Amino acid sequence: MANSKYEYVKAFERCQPDILLPNTWIVIRLDGRGFHKLTAKYEFDKPNDRRALDLMNAAAVGVMTELPDLVLAYGISDEYSFVFHKDCMLFERRAAKLITTIATTFTSYYIHLWGQYFAGTALTPPMPSFDGRAVMYPSVQNLRDYMSWRQVDCHINNLYNTTFWALIQQGGMDGTAAEKRLMGSVAADKHEILFKEFSINYNNEPEMFKKGTVLFRDYELEDPAAKPAADPELDASSQTQLPARGTPAPKGSGTLDALSGTNAPLSKTQAEKERKKRQKAKVAVEHVDVIRDEFWERRPWILS
Ligand code: ATP
Ligand code: ATP
Ligand code: MG
Ligand code: MG
Ligand code: MG
Ligand code: MG
């Protein structure tokens, strides 16, 4: 089609600073808009409505399934963080496209699946929506510290909220009194209030409430001792070379962080094969510690 005299405006789009730096981990964090009000409107259980958390997790699984470039996701409360591999070239790493695709896909699933988790409660306007932002992290350590930051936040908020709502629901206090009671208290004080006054052992609270939810692609963990030595499909490189995301990385761009393996660029066919493998892998939904090394050491493919 011939260019119209208006076509020149398209060039403006390319002048906006929108491309995320190459070779950085991309985290897209979504957060529910006005969920304080929404939880009141739909009478969420306080402090944790299990249906609402299950719905958040189901929507996130939908996003992971539709975007095979995602390697990891972590959710708490009304927020979800999605991680693209540092080699990902989806949408040429344009921030607006990545953020809007994740936010709209998540929101669509949230609304689509609502009825499965809140049977008999119809959604009415204003409809749930989620804002999104993209943050780049240049090293695996930064990315892991990001995950740790969110999980520590989950723990601190949950311990506070569990105690706050016990004071109200079982202790008969109003919000102001409960807030005053907890002012200046440290973690040990809250554990003690829960245990002594309400017979609640915080350690026995559900893992999903205490640790949040981590999603990753569940490749079969291999037992190195049981591995047949001569099987070319199972040699060491297939373990460390799951990384082909989108188009293969350009030659010479394969600098590696401590947790990755070798990162030779893959051919297009190889890249496509790995992409299919990722697409087929089940998305695991777990409530585990992501701060200590163990989670990452047992699943080296996630960040490789
Ligand atoms: P904003 O639009 O600025 O994000 P917000 O009202 O969503 O405003 P947040 O800081 O995101 O504020 O807090 C989310 C609110 O939703 C908190 O009050 C939190 O307790 C509540 N909430 C989220 N998920 C659940 C849940 N599963 N059960 C009960 N309450 C929840
Ligand atoms: P991308 O993900 O790159 O946007 P796309 O397949 O969505 O890929 P577009 O350039 O956005 O490509 O084109 C949208 C396509 O959807 C066109 O083929 C267009 O004809 C079709 N389409 C959109 N709206 C309608 C409609 N109301 N009726 C029929 N076809 C439609
Ligand atoms: Mg917000
Ligand atoms: Mg919110
Ligand atoms: Mg929030
Ligand atoms: Mg289109």
**Model confidence over 19-78: pLDDT tens digits?**
999 999 999 999 999 999 999 999 999 999 999 999 999 999 999 999 999 999 999 999
Residue 262 has pLDDT above 70, yes or no: no
More confident position, 268 or 175: 175
| Distance from Cα 80 to the centre of ligand 5, integer Å | 9
pLDDT at 248: 39
Q: Which residue's C-alpha comes closest to atom 15 of ligand 1?
A: 36
Query: Which atom number of ligand 1 is nearest to the Cα of residue 36?
Result: 6
Is the pTM higher than 0.90? The answer reads: no
Ligand 1: which of 33, 38, 55, 78 to mutate, judged by most atoms within 8 Å of the beta carbon?
Answer: 78
Q: Which residues line ligand 1 (CB under 6 A)?
A: 31-36, 39, 44, 46, 48-49, 52-53, 77-78
Quick: pLDDT tens for 137-186: 999 999 999 999 999 999 999 999 999 999 999 999 999 999 999 999 99
Q: Which amino acid is at 68?
A: P
